[in-house]
Copies of this chain bind each other. A is one copy, B any other.
Amino acid sequence: MNTSSQGEIKLANFKVGVDSVIFCVDLERNRLLVLVVKRIEEPFVNTWSLPGTLVREGESLESAAYRILSEKIPVKNLYLEQLYTFGGPHRDPRESPDSYGVRYLSVSYFALVSYASAHLLLENSKQVAWYEVSKVPPLAFDHDQILDYGYQRLKNKLAYSPIAFDVLPELFTLHDLYQLYEIVLGANFSDYSNFRNRLLKLGFLQNSKIKISKGAGRPANLYRFSSSAFAPIKDYPLVFI
């Protein structure tokens, strides 16, 4: 960072926004949902957009991300990570010449939240909504692009990281887990029996021996993610698919 002070060179001044792609897997109705909010001011007033906020004094990027999240849903049982930073000029219409040349930069975050948290808000105001990923309307700014990017990341993360266990309940059946993967990656992403064998062979799923019945049929075992059993293998390249 050098500030060579030749006559005409001026540094840009930025406001920094944090926009989040918040996913939620609805296991009851087999849907992958993403959270959108309706803009209440210009630009793009009344257009759907990703939930976001501008970073305040003394606030970190991640805090800002958590702040908007917590305004919408309980911030428990979630996975959050930084996605990408979009910072080109002219990506925000507010960057008009008459606004003293202030630029708007957006640091995007990607989150996966538990359905239990999420559906608290399902009946909420008209300003906030969960859309199925395949049915999201056109979004404000470059948010369509950010959403695509986040969706890709979600699919990759699911294949290589244990993020599913951040949003499943403490105890879950292997069919729940399989279904979560199916909803995100598409049906036939893998044979159930092979999926099951692979996961169990990795050794971090603990059979609680507690049984749970879902109508007719053999009751399923409830499993638990054992972070202590996962710790030693966390740095190896694992594939969960």
Contacts and interface: CB of A to CB of B under 8 A. Distances in A.
A46 to B, nearest CB: 14
Point out which of A15, A85, A107 has the most chain B C-beta atoms below 10 A from its C-beta. Answer: A85
Interface in A58-99: 58-62, 82, 84-85, 87-89
A104 B14 CA distance: 10
Nearest to A85: B85
Nearest to A14: B14
A1 B61 CA distance: 13
Nearest to A140: B1
A124 interface: no
Given A15-B14, A19-B1, A55 B107 contact: no
A60 B88 contact: yes
Contacts of A10: 56-57
A105 B14 contact: yes
B87 A57 contact: no
A45 B137 CA distance: 51
Q: How large is the interface on A (under 10, 10 to 19, 20 to 34, 35 or more residues)?
A: 35 or more
Nearest to A43: B1
A155 to B, nearest CB: 11
Given A11-B56, A60-B89, A84-B82, A17 B41 contact: no
B88 A61 contact: yes
30 contacts: A1-B17, A1-B19, A1-B104, A1-B106, A2-B40, A2-B41, A2-B53, A2-B54, A3-B54, A11-B15, A11-B56, A12-B15, A12-B56, A12-B57, A12-B59, A13-B13, A14-B16, A14-B105, A16-B16, A16-B103, A55-B103, A57-B101, A58-B89, A59-B89, A60-B87, A61-B85, A62-B88, A82-B85, A85-B85, A87-B107
| Top 5 A-B residue pairs of the complex, sorted by shortest distance between their CB atoms | A60-B88, A14-B14, A61-B87, A85-B85, A1-B17
